[in-house]
Amino acid sequence: KLSGFQFKGASDFKLMNRTAVDAWLKMRERNVFFRGMTVWMGFTTVQIPFEVAPRSAGRSTWSILKRLKLALIGITAFSSFPLHLVTFAGAVFLGLSVILGVETLYLKLAGQAVSGFATVILLELIIGSFLMISLGIIGEYLARIYEEVKGRPRYIVAESIESDLQSRQR
């Protein structure tokens, strides 16, 4: 859901035609999330339901840690949502610090101010909020650079149709 792609039922076990395999081989990424890349390529897919038989021997080597790492790769390879989350959290904290600042100012003018403590907390909230927003903005730039470095093609041609004009030019 974080990536904008539908990975429901996605698996590492796939049958692919030659066009899809050739498109896959043109990808230059090193940290590959196979399930996501095959969905990203955009070829028509068909899911064939099957039941997984119980293991005949041994145990799965996919520990919880390995599964979490796979999830992290999947999220970071296809989404900049965590970066948006940092920016959003910074904006929320900034809003809360403004509300707290207004409240502190009101209490000061009403003669009920808490000495020193509110000012320190308020300054920390404001500075922290600006830092979070700044990190989010820097993260957005890094996400754009990451998209370019991956070197994915802008589009993949699944099929080309040759016109009469093109065949005469050859």
Residues 70 and 95 in one domain: no
3 is a domain residue? yes
Q: What is the pLDDT of residue 67?
A: 87
Q: 102 and 43 in one domain?
A: no
Residue 55 domain-assigned (yes or no): no
Check whether residue 66 and residue 39 sit in a common domain. yes
Q: Which two tokens stand for residue 92?
A: 């929320």
Q: What is the pLDDT, as a whole number, of residue 116?
A: 74
Structure tokens at 84: 């948006």
Tell me which DSSP letter residue 57 carries. Answer: S
> How does pLDDT run along the chain (170 residues), one tens digit per residue?
566 666 676 777 888 888 888 888 888 777 778 888 888 888 888 888 888 788 888 888 889 999 898 888 888 887 888 888 889 999 999 999 999 889 888 888 888 877 777 788 888 999 999 999 999 999 889 988 887 887 777 777 777 777 666 666 66
Residues 6 or more apart whose CB falls under 8 angstroms from that of 37 comprise 24, 27, 29
Residue range of the domain that includes 33: 1-50+60-79
Q: How far apart are CA 79 and CA 87, in angstroms?
A: 15
Q: Determine the pLDDT at residue 99.
A: 92
> Which pLDDT does position 82 carry in this prediction?
84
| Count of structural domains, the chain | 2
Task: Tell me which amino acid residue 136 is.
Answer: G
The per-residue DSSP string of 49-74 comes to --PPPPPSSS-----HHHHHHHHHHH
Q: Say which residues have a Cβ less than 8 Å from residue 80's Cβ, sequence separation at least 6.
A: 139, 140, 143
34 and 89 housed in the same domain: no
How high is the pLDDT of residue 164?
A: 63
Check residue 135 and give its pLDDT: 93
Taking alpha carbons only, the member of 73, 81, 88 closest to residue 32 is 73
- Contact between 10 and 39 under an 8 Å Cβ cutoff? The reply is yes
The answer to whether residue 74 is domain-embedded is yes
Which pLDDT value is given to residue 65?
Answer: 94
